[in-house]
Chains A and B, each alone.
Chain A
Amino acid sequence: MKLRLILLAGLALTAPALADGTGTITVSGSVSPACYFGSPVATTLNVGTLANQADGTLAPITPQSTTIPSSWCNTGSTIGIIASPLVAQSYIGSPPAGFTKAVNYTATAAGWATNSASFTTTGDTSGGGNGTTPGTQTTSDPVAQTITVTVSNFLAPSAGNRLVADPNYSSTITVTLAATH
């Protein structure tokens, strides 16, 4: 009897393992849509003298540009641009008939999507009534590019308008970049 107990104990000690252990751990992560907008090389574009000294109407104005380097979006994106008319800052009230204190122009943002995003201001002689819907262009792929912003096609609200004297005509262009996914 004593011998049997000893044998059983021996069997238990030498029994082989009956199961092997395997563990799988899933590692996951995600990358959210993101866009980075670089800083404009020039934050101010001075187009100089706006009026023709001979007759006071709008002078031919050379288009001006600046760039926004190092911009990227890691997914599809939409670039938008909106601008305000150039308006005399010191002149109070509405200008007399035949005069204007606002100048319209077209602002474009090129280099991001296939086509340039553009916005043409539509201010009246006081600068009011401008559009509020940005010009946009969308691309479905990630993009890392330099954006070129250009202002051109300066026009008075009505042909023949004379510009009121003012040392400070100013306006603002806003360029935006947004992921679409």
Chain B
Amino acid sequence: MLKTILLASAAVALLAAPSFAVNSANIAITGSVAGVCSITNATTSIDLGNLPVDATTGLYTGSQFSEPMTGTVWCNGTSNTVTAVANPLITTAVTPLIGTFTNRIDYQLKINLVDWVTLDTASSPSVTINSLAPFSYTSNQNSTITTENTTLPPIAGNYAGSVVITVTPGP
């Protein structure tokens, strides 16, 4: 009888043993950020004014201009690219072009795109800057535009060129 009671007590004690179940839990939080680049508050127009031709030869002699080309550029990627392409001043005032005249005036552009770069619409119209890190840059410095001499008299008319700046986030 005593043996039976002792066994029963042991069973009760076993049932009341403390729980060793896990008493913590981990919850993961996840999110993502896509690569993106932006240009804001950028200069959209520069007027060089009248580009005078020589009264005798009709040729244009180049000149230098200091022009504001400002803007804020940023990219959050880890392998970003900044590309600038300068297109020459062209007129469509006379079509087709008369062979002894030109409808094009080239120029050299020195611009601050994270770093100072120089483009030439005649010889090196584009430049690419690879940035390995996220960057944010605000340019508030003037760029230098140096128009080049023409070898033919430019046709009278309105000339227009462009500088296209493209920022691309890395993969």
Contacts and interface: CB of A to CB of B under 8 A. Distances in A.
A163 interface: yes
Contacts of B55: none
Contacts of A83: 29
Contacts of B35: 165
B164 interface: no
- Interface range for A: 35 or more
Given A32-B18, A53-B34, A88-B33, A44 B28 contact: yes
B13 interface: yes
Given A55-B38, A168-B30, A175-B25, A162 B169 contact: no
Contacts of B135: 96
- Interface range for B: 35 or more
Interface stretch (A2-10, A23-31, A137-145): A23-31
A119 interface: no
Interface stretch (A11-19, A35-43, A110-118): A35-43
B24 to A, nearest CB: 4
Given A29-B9, A51-B36, A172 B17 contact: no
B8 interface: yes
Chain A facing B: main interface SS? strand
A28 B10 CA distance: 9
B36 A95 contact: no
A81 B52 CA distance: 76
A170 B29 contact: yes
A141 to B, nearest CB: 17
B153 to A, nearest CB: 48
A42 B25 CA distance: 11
B31 interface: yes
A44 B13 CA distance: 40
Given A30-B16, A36-B21, A165-B35, A99 B30 contact: no
28 contacts: A25-B5, A27-B12, A29-B13, A29-B16, A30-B16, A35-B19, A35-B23, A36-B23, A37-B25, A40-B25, A46-B31, A47-B31, A86-B31, A96-B136, A98-B136, A103-B31, A149-B27, A162-B74, A164-B33, A165-B33, A165-B76, A165-B78, A165-B169, A168-B30, A172-B27, A174-B24, A174-B27, A176-B24
